[in-house]
Amino acid sequence: MDAKIKRGALPHTYIKVERGTAEAVQGGVIEETYLTIRANGYTVASMMCSPVDEEALALGFLYNEAIITTMDDVKSIEVDAECVNVLLHRRNIGLKRQMIMTSGCGAGVTFHQANASRYRVETGFTTTPDAILARMRDLQSAARLYNAVRGVHTALLGTEDAPLYSTEDVGRHNTVDKIAGKVVRDGVDVRNCILITSGRISSEMISKAHRLNIPVVASRTAPTSTAVELAEAWEICLVGYIRRNSMRVYTHPFRLRLDNGK
């Protein structure tokens, strides 16, 4: 592989057409691979993803599906070319089926539906719009694959003052699972954190943030109506359309120390 091509991308020569001229460019494309997650030998899920942070993706997926709650549940984890094998301390993992989904713009991979009646996030954390803008700049800087070849989503978890983790993947849902995996692996308390994502915030995305008890979720693009409804019920501040000096706050502006725009 060309030394200039980042892990998670593959070299590819393409023709750039601009102002009536054509030029061959030695560039790259984002890599998409098939990954199977197994727990105690049982195939939990198979998905298309970027071959980066596969261990974090598996841990985060198992956490978000409530198969594990901490690393104390994990006896061992092994990453092969197309599989992550997780051995748990308990035998029964409580699942009756597996799912196979693509990394596209559909519902992603999940076994349960979001439910607005679930608990609110357990934190009184507040921050400022300036902190949201700062973390978005951090996300843009951390998007090494996107900056190299495009075609990939990025997620970033940070405090009010600094970034903590960033992840990239062809699937926007996978980026949040990878964040969750790193949080679980390191035992980090994220109740005073901000989650920034490059992708649309769907009901599944906000549910993953809720599972982690993250009180502020923001994106450069839009939320769905169900995501707004769930964020309202769960007391999560949901922010969209972040630009250089602007954003849209859809729920709980008090977490940004705002009072309905007044």
Q: Could you list the active site residues?
A: 105
Report the candidate in 102, 202, 212 with the shortest Cα–Cα distance to residue 157: 212
* C-beta atoms surrounding 153 within 10 Å: 24
Cα 247–chain centre separation? 20
Q: Which residues of 88-108 are buried (b: 16+ CB within 10 A; e: fewer)?
A: beeeebeeeeebebebeeeeb
Rounded (to 5) percent helix, strand, coil in the chain:
30, 30, 40
Q: How far is CA 81 from CA 39, 50, 69, 128, in A?
A: 16, 12, 26, 42
User: Tokens at residue 207, please?
Assistant: 């549910």
